[in-house]
Amino acid sequence: MANSDSKTTKDHTTIKKWSEERDGKPAVVESTSNSSEGGGLLRINFPGYAEDNLKNLSWEEFFRIFDENDLQFLYQEETKDGEKSRFFKFVDKN
């Protein structure tokens, strides 16, 4: 499998390590967050690449939402050119 191939994981350590290697921080789209229940659309906030409407979260809160929604993390290690990739998506496990 080439490093430019997409992979999926539910492993918290893998997700955190991948994100932090790219200076990413856990976040949620602010307009979708519910302060009474928590939750919302998860994102990884990359400096210089982020949406303006993101609210940073702790990794603990991020993974609580991730697990409650039974998500998987689809990601790419490198681009086809061998550069570090920031490509990711959150996908339903089913």
pLDDT in tens, 22-44: 999 999 987 666 654 556 789 99
For the beta sheet containing 54-56, the strands, ordered from the edge strand earlier in sequence to the opposite edge, are 42-45, 25-29, 54-56
Residue among 83, 84, 80, 73 nearest 2 (CA): 80
pLDDT band at 3 (very low <50, low <70, confident <90, very high): low
CA 25 to chain CA centroid, Å, is 8
pTM of the model: 0.85
